[in-house]
Amino acid sequence: MLPIAGTERPSDVTDLWGRLADIGDRFALQPDLSGADDWIACERLHDPHSAELAAVLEAERVASGQVSDHATALTVMAVYAGTVTSAAMLAWALEDVVIDMRASNVAVRLSDHHGFEGYGLRQPTVVAGASVDLLVEQVVHGHLVPLVDALQERTRAGRRQLMGGAAHGCAAAFCLASRMGHDVDLLEERYHRFLAATDVGFEKLGRVVRLREDGRDGLFYLRNTCCLYYTSAEESKCSSCCLDPVADRIANYRTVLREGQRPH
């Protein structure tokens, strides 16, 4: 049984991991890290001089074929915020619970491909009915911002661009779920509540827009910063890339709604 607080029924919380995984692979958290020795403690990534942070950067550099340290750092930040901590965003938005996603409670597994192979919890702790302030404190202040600081010190990547990756990653959970059959009104309201609770400048780094096409509604993120993924061996831009005009991005997003695609 999960350690919980609040009013959520224990059976509902126990099934939370399965419900998140059913939404998409990026929301699939491992609630038990026993029996494996290849997990990297996320709190170690807050040390700019740690071997663990070096391993994460090197894995991404090799996998994506990035050309510089700062571009690799920006790519790591973007994919990290959009995957490792995204389950906490979605659980709060849809289930009104806060998963303990402090860096001291989370670990990642490296992948041979762009991104991470998996993400897990040391202790699968969930707080039901918690305020958005707890989510912001644990995920933004206690996890993502210290990673931004470490990546900036280690690689000299621009802080605004790193923070842009964090802001985009947080928004991605709300946007993706809105296009996968979940309540768009709820997700839109929850995203704006989350954004209002942050105090790190996320509102200056991009914005969420709501589009409707062929009877489908969806939330999409318009970035104001670049993660430089187009400089990798992939030579492709993110669908939210700020190098493309806003009108072009919105036109592409409308195509996504019409065709039922699920981009980043």
Tens of pLDDT, residues 173-186: 999 999 888 999 99
Torsion angle defined by CA atoms of residues 106, 109, 115 and 119, in that order, rounded to the nearest 10 degrees: -40
Write b or e for each residue in 51-74: b if 16 or more Cβ atoms lie within 10 A of its Cβ, otherwise e.
Answer: ebbeebbebbbebbebeeebbbbb
For residue 35, being part of any structural domain is answered with: yes
3-state secondary structure of 179: coil
For residue 47, being part of any structural domain is answered with: yes
For residue 85, being part of any structural domain is answered with: yes
Torsion angle defined by CA atoms of residues 138, 141, 146 and 151, in that order, rounded to the nearest 10 degrees: 110
Q: What is the mean pLDDT of the chain?
A: 88
Residue 73 has pLDDT above 80, yes or no: yes
For residue 137, the Cα-to-chain-centroid distance in whole angstroms is: 15
For residue 125, being part of any structural domain is answered with: yes
Tell me: the pLDDT tens digits for 220-263? Answer: 999 999 877 777 767 677 777 888 899 999 999 999 888 875 54
For residue 150, being part of any structural domain is answered with: yes
Distance CA 61, CA 71 (A): 9
For residue 74, being part of any structural domain is answered with: yes
Torsion angle defined by CA atoms of residues 62, 119, 166 and 227, in that order, rounded to the nearest 10 degrees: 20
For residue 264, being part of any structural domain is answered with: no
Distance CA 54, CA 52 (A): 5
Residue 83 has pLDDT above 50, yes or no: yes
Residue 125 has pLDDT above 50, yes or no: yes
For residue 131, being part of any structural domain is answered with: yes
Q: How many domains does the chain have?
A: 1
Q: Closest Cα to residue 50, out of 149, 124, 144?
A: 149
* Residues near 112 by beta carbon (within 8 Å), at least 6 away in sequence: 59, 63
Q: Can you give the residue range of the structural domain that contains 32? A: 4-259
Strand partners, 140: none
